[in-house]
Amino acid sequence: MKALAKDTTGPGLVLTDRPDPVGGPFDVTIAVLRTGICGTDLHIESWDDWAAGVIRPPLIPGHEFSGRVVEVGDAVTSVRVGDLVSGEGHIVCGVCRNCRAGRRHLCVHTLSVGVNRDGAFAQYVALPEQNIWVHPADIDLDLAAIFDPLGNAVHTALSYEMAGEDVLITGAGPIGLMAARVAKHVGSRNVVITDVNAERLALARSMGVDVAVDVSSDSVADAQQTLGMREGFDVGLEISGRPSALVEMLENMNHGGKVALLGLPTERFDIDWASVVGRMITIKGIYGRQMFETWYLMAAMLHSGLDVQPVITDRLPAADWAEGFDIARRGAGGKVVLDWSTL
Q: Looking at 35, 43, 105, 155, which residue is catalytic?
A: 43
Q: Which are the contacts of 189, defined by CB distance < 8 A and separation ≥ 6?
A: 164, 165, 166
Q: For residues 253-284, b (16+ Cβ closer than 10 Å) or e, as one string?
A: bbeebbbbbbbeeeeeeeeeeeebeeeebebe
Tell me which amino acid residue 217 is. S
Report the alpha-carbon distance of residue 240 to residue 147 in Å, rounded.
19
Report the alpha-carbon distance of residue 275 to residue 232 in Å, rounded.
14
Q: Which are the contacts of 177, defined by CB distance < 8 A and separation ≥ 6?
A: 193, 200, 203, 204, 207, 308, 310, 311, 334
Report the alpha-carbon distance of residue 58 to residue 4 in Å, rounded.
11
Sign of CA dihedral 138, 133, 150, 102: positive
Q: Looking at 29, 35, 40, 194, which residue is catalytic?
A: 40
Report the alpha-carbon distance of residue 26 to residue 21 in Å, rounded.
14
Q: What are phi and psi of 40, to 5 degrees?
A: -60, -40
Instruction: Mark whether 40 is an active-site residue.
Output: yes
Beta strands in 27-123 (DSSP E): 27-36, 64-72, 84-87, 90-91, 111-112
Q: Are strands 167-170 and 233-238 parallel, antiparallel or unpaired?
A: parallel
Please check whether residue 141 is in contact with residue 34, taking contact to mean a CB–CB distance below 8 angstroms. Answer: yes
Closest listed residue to residue 39, CA positions, set 122, 148, 125, 144:
148
10 Å CB burial of residue 1 (0-12, 13-18, 19+) is middle
Instruction: Mark whether 135 is an active-site residue.
Output: no
DSSP 76: -
Catalytically annotated residues: 40, 43
